[in-house]
Amino acid sequence: MTIVFGIFLLTLLVVVAIGIVRAENLFTAVMLTGIFSLLMAANFFVLDAADVALTEAAVGAGISTVLLLGGLALVPGRERSRERLHRLALAVVALTTLMVVYATFEKPRLGDPDAPVHQHVAPWYLEMTPELVDIPNVVTAVLGTFRGYDTLGEVIVVFTAGLGVLFLLGLPGVIGERNVDDLAVGRSYLGHHLVPQVVGTLLIPFILLFALYVQFHGEYGPGGGFQAGAIFAAGMVLHSLIAGEKESLMVISPRMLVLLMAGGALLFGGVGILTMLLGGNFLDYNVLAENPVAGQQWGILIIELGVGLSVTGVLLAIYHAFAARSR
């Protein structure tokens, strides 16, 4: 049954992808991208990746659609006239697809427990996590401690990309000449629609609470800083859509957003420096407490907080950079 469901979802994914490429109206294409992400999240869930599904649903279907719409508000919403199918490109693409499909016949079948990918470090992670870190969610353990360097690198990349957007578009009150006071009062996308306004206002506190739950429950269930950051940012974006751009920037000021961006990444790196000062290696949390296992748990809790703060700051700052430019 699961396999039929999986095949159905995957086929839909292809249909939606072709729809995105063919749609002449860019608004349609962006909305289809949201559906694409949601289908992708469902697929991830079928494939046992609960954490990834949560991330894709929050980031791909939520934040990314809003950001793309924010960008679309600043550029023309239609493609020029319908173009002919590009013959050469089509030939290249068809040939490459056939080659990749041909290559898959050598791949291990879906779910094969003897596949090479399951023989390397993964069994060690699954076996040693209860002993060394003692938290149930192995994904969080690998993310936070076994591959902590990698995660720090990713946070820095997210921070850098956010910084790039701010330098390109400016953020009122921090980068560029405009101030928060220059923004028009009470201009919002959803302000004139009664139903979204009432429902949204009711939902915002619960979304923010859920974000905190995902943040601090990430060791026990699916969740962690990346997901929590995206959900928290989504809640604040909803606030901005309802209350207005200027009003939202007064709740979390632009300066605060930049501080969150940098502070989260610094907190993560700071834990690494602290462990070095305490006599361990960089990001070796064992030295943070008397008991190495407790040290690991503290380390993961703090760096996940750093990740959450940084992701919230970056995503919100990017949203405001787009939204504030259009008015």
Contacts (CB under 8 A) with another protein, residues 100-129: 100-101, 104-105, 107, 109-113, 115, 117-118, 121-122, 125-126, 129
- What mask, x for binding another protein by CB under 8 A, covers residues 28 to 67? -xx--x--xx--x--xx--xxxxxx--xx--xx--xx--x
Q: Is the dihedral of CA 100, 102, 104, 109 positive or negative?
A: positive
**Contact flag: residue 91 with another protein (CB under 8 A):** no
Least distance in angstroms from the C-beta of 291 to another protein: 19
Contact 80, 25 (CB under 8 A): no
Per-residue tokens: 120: 């390397």
Per CB under 8 A, does 322 bind another protein? yes
Whether 238 contacts 200, CB under 8 Å:
yes
| Number of C-beta neighbours around residue 305 at 10 A | 18
Assigned token pair, 227: 């997901």
Beta carbon of residue 97, minimum distance to another protein (angstroms, whole number): 4
Nearest one of 244, 234, 226, 215 to 318, comparing CA atoms: 234
DSSP-derived letter for residue 62 is I
Q: Is 181 in the site for another protein (CB under 8 A)?
A: no
According to DSSP, the residues that pair with 46 across neighbouring strands are none
Q: Is 182 in the site for another protein (CB under 8 A)?
A: no
* Cβ at position 210, least distance to another protein in Å: 18
Single out the residue of 31, 35, 132, 147 in contact with another protein (rule: CB under 8 A): 147
- Between residues 76 and 279, which has the closer beta carbon with respect to another protein? 76
Stretch that binds another protein, among 153-161, 180-188, 190-198, 274-282 (CB under 8 A): 153-161
Angle at 178 between CA 173 and CA 180, to 5 degrees: 50
| Residue 230 lies near another protein (rule: CB under 8 A) | yes
Q: Per-residue x/- marks for another protein, 284-313, CB under 8 A?
A: ---------------------------x--
Burial of 20 (0-12, 13-18, 19+ CB in 10 A): middle
Does 154 bind another protein (CB under 8 A)? Our answer is yes
